[in-house]
Structures are given as C-alpha cells and as structure tokens.
C-alpha cells in the first residue's frame, strides 16, 4: 500500500511541476501575443504609457510590459495552490519513502520538499518586489527623469534577479521529481527465516 501511495504522490508532484511550467510559459506567450497584436481586444486596450519609445533597459516595444503584467497576474493566482500541492505531495512522498527504503529516494524527497517550501517563500518575495517594479516603471515612463529611470531600472533588476532564482528553483524541483519518477523503487523486505 505504501508503495502505491508513494508512486501516486511522486507522479502527481512531477505532473504538477511539468504542467505548471508549460502552462506558465504558454500564458506569458499568449498575453504577449495579444499585447503586441495590432488589433487589440477591448479588454486589453492600448495604453499611451506603453506605446512610446522605451528608455534603455525597458522592454521593446513597451506593449510587452502590459502583456507580461497581465500574464503575471494570471499566473500569480495559481501559486498558492501550486506550492500547497507540491508540499503535500513532497510530505507524503517523504513519509512513504521511509517505509520503502533507499537512501537516494529519501534524500531526493527531502530535497524536493525543501525546494517546494523555499519556492513558496521565494514566490512571496518576488510578489512583494512586483509592486515597486510596476510603480517605478510607470513613474519613469510618465516622467523619465534620470532619478526615476535609475529607480525603475533598480526595481526591475531586483525583480528580474529574484524571479530568475525562483525559476531556477522550479527547474531544480522538476529535476528532483523526474529523478524520483525514474529511480527504481526498492522495498524493505523482512529477513528470510533460516
């Protein structure tokens, strides 16, 4: 029974990481395509702030910014469920790994749990950086003084750096879960009577 529970938790964990990674990429591509389309829908109108010539260090064309922000809002709504699901799967996988034996499996489950929990914390931090990035970007685009541009570039760089670290953590989790799926299960067996 433990073997089945373990396999289901690992499969669900791996599947959720794969699905979210692909879905996130597709969402960003879709919103960017809409934002860059010459015939935009009424729900994503052209905003004068994002239609001018971008300063150095800003997206080219500026409409990308609007599409990226819309996608970020959509993806952010998924994060609490995503990291909760990962954490539950990791705890179940780790708990059942103890009864199945195998130090590699236990170590990978523990590493995966730590990655899921740190990913959750990183996501919260990146979310906190999103507000200042957006506010300073808009302020610099509305009134591109050297001070506002410098502040906007710094806020954008901090967001980009931590978002990149968060993505690396997600890819590391993907690697750990793939290794768990591929690693053969070894079951502890009672010693045979002599």
Q: What pTM was estimated for this model as a whole?
A: 0.86
Domain residues for the domain of 97 are 2-182
pLDDT tens per residue, range 59-81: 999 999 999 999 999 999 999 99
The confidence score (pLDDT) of residue 194 equals 56
Question: Is residue 187 situated within a structural domain?
Answer: no
Do you know the residue count of the chain? Answer: 194
Q: Is 189 inside any structural domain? A: no
How far from the centroid of its chain's Cα atoms is residue 36's Cα? 24
Q: What is the mean pLDDT of residues 157-180?
A: 96
**Does residue 122 fall inside a structural domain?**
yes
Whole-angstrom Cα distance, residue 89 to residue 109? 10
Give the model's pLDDT for residue 191.
47
pLDDT of residue 129: 97
Structural domain count, the chain: 1
Is residue 129 included in any domain, yes or no? yes
How far is it, in rounded angstroms, from Cα 166 to Cα 161? 9
- Are 34 and 67 in contact, with CB atoms under 8 Å apart? yes
Long-range contacts of 145-150 (CB under 8 A, 24+ apart): 149/55, 149/57
Confidence of residue 100 (pLDDT cuts 50, 70, 90): confident
Give mean pLDDT, residues 148-165: 96
Phi-psi sector, 37: left (phi>0), alpha (psi -120 to 50), beta: beta
> For the residues of 144-174, what is the DSSP string, one character each?
--HHHHHHHHHHHHHHHHHHHHHHHHHHHHH
126 lies in a domain? yes
């Amino acid at each position: 029974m433990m073997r089945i529970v373990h396999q289901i938790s690992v499969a669900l964990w791996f599947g959720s990481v794969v699905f979210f990674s692909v879905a996130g990429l597709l969402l960003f591509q879709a919103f960017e395509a809409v934002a860059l389309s010459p015939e935009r829908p009424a729900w994503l109108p052209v905003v004068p702030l994002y239609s001018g010539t971008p300063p150095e260090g800003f997206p080219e064309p500026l409409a990308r910014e609007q599409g990226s922000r819309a996608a970020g809002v959509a993806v952010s709504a998924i994060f609490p469920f995503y990291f909760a699901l990962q954490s539950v799967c990791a705890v179940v996988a780790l708990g059942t790994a103890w009864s199945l034996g195998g130090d590699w499996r236990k170590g990978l489950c523990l590493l995966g749990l730590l990655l899921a929990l740190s990913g959750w914390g990183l996501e919260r931090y990146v979310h906190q950086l999103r507000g200042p990035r957006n506010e300073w970007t808009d302020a610099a685009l509305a009134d591109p003084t050297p001070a506002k541009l410098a502040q906007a570039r710094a806020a954008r760089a901090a967001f980009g750096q931590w978002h990149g670290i968060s993505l690396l953590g997600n890819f590391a989790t993907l690697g750990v879960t793939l290794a768990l799926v591929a690693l053969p299960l070894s079951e502890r067996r009672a010693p045979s009577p002599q």
